[in-house]
Homo-oligomer: A and B are copies of this chain.
Amino acid sequence: MGGAGRQRRATLADVAGRAGVHPSLVSRVLRNDPSGFASSETRERIRTAAKELGYRANEAARGLRSSRTMALGLLLPGFSSPVYSAIAHGVEERADQRDYGLVIGTHAAGDPHEVITEMVMRGRVDALLVASGRIEDQALRQLVRRIPESLVLVNRQVRGVAASVVLRDSDAAAVAVRHLAELGHRRIGGVFGPRTLDTMVRRRHGFVEECTKAGVEPVVTEVDGRDHGAGFQGALRLLDAGEPPSAVVAATFPMAVGMLSAFHERGLAVPDRMSVVSIHDDGLADYLVPRLTTVMLPAAKLGAEAVDLALSLVDGGAPRRVVVPDAPRLIPRSSTARV
C-alpha cells in the first residue's frame, strides 16, 4: 500500500492562506462564532476556500475549545435483544441529525457501573444515555449525583434519577389483554420478567388492571429473565401450575418465541389450544410458526426522544420524565384465535 494515492487533509492554515486571512478568523467564521467579526465578503471567501479545499474542522479540537466532545454515550447490555437494537438505531439516527457522534458501550467488558463511569469521567462524551436494566438502582443514583446534568435513562425510571424516557408499557399490556378478551378468553396467563425491572412492573400492572376491567381471570407467572429461555421456562411453569389458561401474554418478544417453542414441545397447538401475544413487535414475527400476534411499541422513537432530552440537559435544560406519547398498536397475526 504505502501513502501513494493519499491526499493530505487541508488544515486551518491552508484555508487561511487561500482566503488571505488569519487562521483564527477562519476558525471563528466556520464555527459561526459571533466574536469572529468579518465582512460578508470575507466570510464568503473563507467558506469558499474551505469548501474548495475540502476542509473539515477537527472535532476533537472543536470539542476542547467549547469543552464539548460533540459525542453522546449510549450504554446497552448488548446488541442481542431486538428492543435494544431498535433503541440504538433511534439514538444513532437522531444523534446524527443533531450533528453528534455516538459512542456505544456494552456490558461486554466487566462491571457495567465501571464502564459508564469511565465513559463520562474520561471526558469522552457530553451526556450518557443508559438503556440497561442490569445496573442497580442504587448505582444509578450514585452516578447521577456525580453527573446530574448528563444522565438520561432510556426505557427505565428510577427514583432519584430525574431524566428518563419510557414507553406506554402499561397500555401495551392492556391492548394485548383486550384483544384476547374480545376473542372470548376468560383466563389469561401473563409471563413477566423480574419486578426489579420497572418495564416489567408497568406491563404487569397494565395486564392485571385490564384483566380486572374485562372481567377476566389473570394468571401471573414471574421468571428470572426476559429472553427466549425465560419465556420457555415461564410457559412450562404456567402449564405445570394446574389448569392452564387458554391464552397468554408474553412480556417481551424473545419470551414469546421461547413460549411458542415450549407449547410445541408439550403438544399444545398454537393458536388452537393456546393463543399467544407478545409485547413489542419484531421483523421475525412474520416468519415464526405460527406468525406471532404482537403489540407494537415505538422503540426507535424512544432513542430519538432520549437524544433530545440529553442535548437539552447539555444546554442547561431541566431534567424531566418523558413518556413517548404514541399509543401501542395491536398487530394481529396467526398466534391468536377465538377460544
Measured in the bound complex, the distance between the Cα atoms of B225 and A51 in whole Å is 38
Query: B93 and A109: CB pair below 8 A?
Result: yes
Kindly report which residue of chain B lies nearest to residue A109, judged by CB atoms.
B96
Kindly report which residue of chain B lies nearest to residue A141, judged by CB atoms.
B5
A95 CB to closest chain B CB (Å) equals 9
- A291: chain B residues at CB < 8 Å are 261
Q: Which of B3, B149, B284 contacts A257 (CB 8 A)?
A: B284
Cβ of A104 under 8 Å from chain B = yes
Kindly report which residue of chain B lies nearest to residue A232, judged by CB atoms.
B287
Kindly report which residue of chain B lies nearest to residue A313, judged by CB atoms.
B1
Query: B64 and A122: CB pair below 8 A?
Result: no
- A85: chain B residues at CB < 8 Å are 78-80, 85
Query: B123 and A60: CB pair below 8 A?
Result: yes
Q: Say yes or no: A289-B264 contact (C-beta < 8 A), given A63-B60, A109-B92.
A: yes
Measured in the bound complex, the distance between the Cα atoms of B124 and A122 in whole Å is 16
Kindly report which residue of chain B lies nearest to residue A91, judged by CB atoms.
B108
Q: Quick one: copies of this chain in the complex?
A: 2
Query: A258 and B287: CB pair below 8 A?
Result: yes
- On chain A, the number of residues with a Cβ less than 8 Å from chain B's Cβ atoms is 69
Query: B106 and A92: CB pair below 8 A?
Result: yes
- A80: chain B residues at CB < 8 Å are 82, 85, 283
Measured in the bound complex, the distance between the Cα atoms of B139 and A301 in whole Å is 31
Kindly report which residue of chain B lies nearest to residue A97, judged by CB atoms.
B109
Kindly report which residue of chain B lies nearest to residue A265, judged by CB atoms.
B289
- A260: chain B residues at CB < 8 Å are 287, 289
Query: B106 and A89: CB pair below 8 A?
Result: yes
- A69: chain B residues at CB < 8 Å are 60
Cβ of A56 under 8 Å from chain B = yes
Cβ of A59 under 8 Å from chain B = yes
Query: B56 and A1: CB pair below 8 A?
Result: no
Cβ of A319 under 8 Å from chain B = yes
- A148: chain B residues at CB < 8 Å are 1-6
Cβ of A102 under 8 Å from chain B = yes
Query: B60 and A287: CB pair below 8 A?
Result: no
- A64: chain B residues at CB < 8 Å are 60-61, 64
A58 CB to closest chain B CB (Å) equals 4
> Which residues between 101 and 155 of chain A lie within 8 Å of chain B, taking CB atoms?
101-106, 108-109, 115, 119, 121-124, 145-149
Query: A71 and B6: CB pair below 8 A?
Result: no
Cβ of A53 under 8 Å from chain B = no
- A92: chain B residues at CB < 8 Å are 104-106, 108-109
Query: B106 and A103: CB pair below 8 A?
Result: no
Q: Which of B124, B229, B231, B283 contacts A60 (CB 8 A)?
A: B124
Cβ of A268 under 8 Å from chain B = no
Cβ of A159 under 8 Å from chain B = no
Cβ of A50 under 8 Å from chain B = no
Q: Given A92-B109, A228-B283, output 6 extra A-B contacts at Cβ < 8 Å.
A: A3-B148, A5-B148, A61-B64, A93-B108, A93-B109, A101-B119
Supply 9 A–B pairs (Cβ within 8 Å), ascending by A.
A3-B149, A6-B145, A64-B64, A79-B79, A79-B88, A101-B124, A102-B105, A228-B286, A231-B287
